[in-house]
Structure 1
Amino acid sequence: MELYTNLRAGEKGAWLSIGTYLILSSIKLTIGYIGNSEALKADGLNNTTDIIASIAVLIGLRISQRPPDSNHLYGHLRAETVASLIASFIMMIVGLQVLISSIQNIWNPVREAPSLLTALVAVGSAVVMYGVYRYNLALSKKIQSSAVKAAAYDNRSDALVSIGTAIGIFGAILGFPIIDTITALVVGVIIIKTGIEIFWEAVQTLTDSFDIEEAETLSVLIKNVDGVIELVDFKGRTHGNVSFVDVTVTVNPHLDVRQSHEITEKIESTVKRFNQYCMVLVHIEPHESSTATEEDYHF
Structure 2
Amino acid sequence: MISSLETRKTRVTLVGAGINMVLSLLKIAGGIMLASPALVADGAHSLSDLASDIMVLWGLRQGARAPDDDHPYGHGRFETLATLALAALLALTGIGILWDGAGRLMGGALAVPGLWALAIVALSIGVKEALFRYTMAAARATRSTLLSANAWHHRTDALSSVVALVGIGAAQLGFVWADPLAAIIIAVMLLRVAWQFGKGAADELVDTQAPDDLRRALEACLHTTPGVCGLRDLRMRQHGARVVADVSVMVDPLISVTEGHRIAEAARAQALAQVDALEDLIIHVEPAGHFEGFGAEQAPLRTELEGQVLTLALAHPMVRQVERLHLGYFEDGLHLELLAELAPEADHALTETQIITAIGDVLPELTQLRLHRISAGLRG
Normalization by structure 2: what TM-score? 0.71
Q: Which SS does the other structure have where 2:70 is aligned?
A: coil
1:7 aligns with 2:11: no
Alignment-derived partner of residue 66 in structure 1: 65
Alignment-derived partner of residue 125 in structure 2: 126
Alignment-derived partner of residue 251 in structure 1: 251
Contact preservation (8 Å) 2:237, 2:244: yes
Over 3 Å counting, the alpha-carbon distance change for 1:72 and 1:55 in structure 2 is: same
| Structure 2 gap segments, 5+ residues each | 291-329, 336-380
Q: Which SS does the other structure have where 2:286 is aligned?
A: strand
Q: Which SS does the other structure have where 1:231 is aligned?
A: strand
Over 3 Å counting, the alpha-carbon distance change for 1:124 and 1:109 in structure 2 is: farther
Alignment-derived partner of residue 106 in structure 2: 107
Contact preservation (8 Å) 2:64, 2:76: yes
Contact preservation (8 Å) 1:57, 1:80: yes
* Equivalence map 1:1-299=2 (5 Å): 4-209=3-208, 210-278=210-278, 279-287=280-288, 288=290
Amino acid at match of 1:11: T
Contact preservation (8 Å) 2:37, 2:183: no
Normalized per residue, the structure richer in strand is 2
Over 3 Å counting, the alpha-carbon distance change for 1:267 and 1:182 in structure 2 is: same
| Structure 1 gap segments, 5+ residues each | 294-299
Percent identity between matched residues is: 27
| CA-atom RMSD in angstroms | 2.3
Contact preservation (8 Å) 2:260, 2:285: yes
Distance 1:114 1:229 in 2: 71
Q: CA deviation at 1:237?
A: 1.5
Q: Which moved more, 1:208-217 or 1:186-195?
A: 208-217
Q: CA deviation at 1:79?
A: 0.3
Q: Bigger relative contact order, structure 1 or 2, given CA contacts below 8 A and separation 6+?
A: 1
Q: CA deviation at 1:56?
A: 0.7
Amino acid at match of 1:280: L
Over 3 Å counting, the alpha-carbon distance change for 1:217 and 1:46 in structure 2 is: closer
Distance 1:109 1:120 in 2: 26
Amino acid at match of 1:270: Q
Larger Cα-atom Rg: 2
- Give the number of equivalent residue pairs: 291
Alignment-derived partner of residue 352 in structure 2: none
Distance 1:212 1:30 in 2: 47
Distance 1:282 1:197 in 2: 33
Q: CA deviation at 1:6?
A: 2.2
Contact preservation (8 Å) 1:7, 1:64: no
Q: CA deviation at 1:185?
A: 2.7
Contact preservation (8 Å) 1:60, 1:79: yes
Normalization by structure 1: what TM-score? 0.88
Amino acid at match of 1:56: M
Normalized per residue, the structure richer in helix is 1
